A = this chain, B = another copy of it.
Amino acid sequence: METKESTEIKAPLKEHFGNYMVPVRDALEIFSGKWKIPIITALNFYESCGFKELERIVEGITPKMLSKELKFLEENLLITRKVEDTRPVTITYSITEYGKTCRSVMSELYRWGTEHRKKVFNIEGEAWESC
């Protein structure tokens, strides 16, 4: 037995994981916040929606946040914005084929989150209604 074990210096994360964190952060940026997942889910379900439609489907969102998040999702190639030459002008937001690949991440989050709920709150699916 050596005393070395207790005095050993543990290296910073970077030395072991390099830039492992970078893509994890990238993914997290897409899904975190209050509104991105609801918007993606809505467009996954309805394929295409107008701005006012999304305002009603994604309950509680303000136009400022909706506008901001749509811009973000478009920049990240998950949705498209098409301007239709009608009166008044209508704008159609649609999910892209690439946007649909989010489902695998969301279903893993759902799976783990469901287990977590059971573990921490000891709550099963049926009890969600009361939360």
CB–CB A57/B10 < 8 A: yes
CB–CB A116/B41 < 8 A: no
A22 to B116, CA, bound (A): 11
Partner of A76, one of B12, B17, B22, B120: B120
Nearest neighbor of A26 in chain B, beta-carbon distance: B113
CB–CB A23/B116 < 8 A: yes
Q: What secondary structure prevails in chain A residues at the interface with B? A: helix
Which residues of A, 90-114, contact B by the 8 Å Cβ criterion? 98, 101-102, 104-106, 108-110, 112-114
Give 1 or 0 for each of A1-40: 1 = CB within 8 Å of chain B CB.
0000000011111101111111111111011100001100
